[in-house]
Amino acid sequence: MKIVITDHGFPSIEQEQRLFAAAGCELVVLQSKDPAVLRTACRDADALLVQWAPIDKDTIASLAHCKAIVRYGIGFDSVDLAAAGARGIPVCNIPDYCIDEVADHALALALGLARQVPQTDATVRGGTWKIFPPSPFPAFRTTTFATVGFGRIARAVLERARVFGFKLAAYDPFVQPAAFAAAGVRQVDVSELWSEAGIVSLHLPLNAQTKHILGRSALAQMRSDAIVVNTARGGLIDTVALAEALHERKIAGAGLDVFEVEPLPNDHPLRLAPNLVLTSHTAWYSGGSVPELQRKCAEAVVRAIRGEPLVNVVNSAFLSPTP
């Protein structure tokens, strides 16, 4: 059996090497995102492990006998799910790692911006000492902290926000009302969320329906003291519209860890936007999350090549029998 790691950014892949060797597999590490390279080198692979490389329909069409594509991470928008499903190839992600890390990062961005920590730091460093912050802001206890999405990470974020006394709300049309009630979170529709929330944290997958869910229309509905946080997928936000809203003070601030194009281009208008905190897709990271991700991915691949039942198959709706 041949396993191909298309690309990765880890200091070591010792875990993968050990698990694959124990399963009697050959491992090839490409370190390429070039579709032409992928189509040639992956043709005879029995499984793919992918971090950032785009696995498009042409690459999938070139796979002779692939049993699974496993993504290093939670998001899976870089893989053509329908094309893989049509070939009978399951695509798996790892949705149950880095929950705490991303939730902590989202809350850190939200709290820092809500208390105007970056702005006050800049004021002090600029030589001005004031016992009032740069702009008025409400108390946490009077502020609604809302998530767009109500999955694992969103719920972890809201549990953390609860400790700080925020009012809690969330929008997710795929979750039953009983789940909101059990969590003590108010269920709202998306228009209500935009207009009421003081802090909006995005926790959705990226697809045709969610792309730019936070765009000019949504921004126009938001409060002038609202804060936006995105630790999910960069394409959820129309970032040009967000930069304009920040420049025009239509909202109070934003904290972004993910972007439509990464690295963020040097000439992107976000870089000059005020009241904005940028981090470089680091929300997932801790000393424990890295080995956990690598181990779970390798275990998923081993299950696939052994013909064992797979978990976290994200394209099950598209799967057809293997030709």
Task: Please identify which of the residues 14, 26, 262, 308 carries the catalytic annotation.
Answer: 262
Residue 102, strand partner residues: none
Instruction: Give me the catalytic one of 281, 292, 295, 299.
Output: 281
One-letter amino acid at 302 equals: V
DSSP string spanning 137-157? ---GGG-EEEEE--SHHHHHH
Among 101, 233, 260, 303, which one carries the catalytic annotation? 233
Return the ∠ at Cα 127 (arms to 125 and 129), rounded to 5°.
95
Residue type, 29: V
Query: Are 92 and 68 within 8 A, CB to CB?
Result: yes
Q: For residue 18, give the H/E element and its range.
A: helix 14-22
For tokens 């969103």, name the residue.
154
Tokens 């798996």 belong to 92
Largest Cα–Cα distance of the chain, in whole Å?
Answer: 71
Cα 305 to Cα 67, 185, 208, 288, 322, distances in angstroms = 7, 42, 31, 27, 14
Distance of CA 255 to the CA centre of its chain: 14
SS3 content of the chain, % helix, strand, coil (to 5): 35, 15, 45
Q: What is the rounded CA–CA span in Å between residue 1 and residue 137?
A: 59
Active site annotation includes 141:
no
State how far the Cα of 239 lies from the Cα of 219, in Å rounded to an integer. Answer: 11
DSSP 3-state of 191: helix
Q: Please say if 233 is a catalytic residue.
A: yes
Nearest to 222 by CA among 241, 243, 200: 200
The DSSP 8-state label assigned to residue 306 in this structure reads T
Asked, as a colleague might, if the bond just before 263 is cis with ω within 30 of 0, I would say yes
Q: Residues with catalytic annotation?
A: 233, 262, 281
